[in-house]
Amino acid sequence: MSYKHVNIMDVSFLNIERKELFQTIIYPSLQKQGKQFFVTANPEIVMLANEKPAYKAMIKQADYVLPDGAGIVIASKLIGNSIVERIPGFEVMTHLIGYAEENGLSCYFLGAHQEVIEAFIKRIKTLHPNLLIAGYHNGFFDLDDPNIVEHVKKANPDLVFVALGSPRQEQWITKHYHQFDKGLFMGVGGSFDVVAGKVKRAPESWIKLNLEWLYRLLQQPFRWKRMLKVFQFMFRVLIRKY
How do strand 5-8 and strand 11-14 relate by DSSP bridges?
antiparallel
CA angle 14, 17, 23 (to 5 degrees): 95
**159-163 and 183-187 strand pairing:** parallel
Is 67 or 189 the residue whose CB approaches ligand UDP more closely?
189
165-184 residues near ligand UDP, rule: CB under 6 A: 165-166, 168
Cis peptide before 167 (omega within 30 of 0): yes
Of the pair 18, 113, the CB lying nearest ligand UDP is at: 113
Helix 43-51 / helix 53-60 crossing angle, nearest 10 deg: 120
Please, what is the minimum distance in Å from the beta carbon of residue 85 to ligand UDP?
20
Contacting residue, 5, 18, 95, 113, with ligand UDP by CB under 6 A: 113
User: Residue 212, interface with ligand UDP (CB under 6 A)?
Assistant: no
Residues 6+ apart with CB under 8 A from 200: 194, 215, 219
Residue 154 φ then ψ, to 5° = -60, -35
In the complex, minimum distance from the CB of residue 188 to ligand UDP, in angstroms, rounded to a whole number: 8
Map residues 31-60 to x or -, x wherever contact with ligand UDP holds by CB under 6 A.
------------------------------
Binders of ligand UDP in range 187-206 (CB under 6 A) = 189-190, 192-193
Q: Which parts of this chain interact with ligand UDP (CB under 6 A)?
A: 111-113, 116, 139-140, 163-166, 168, 189-190, 192-193
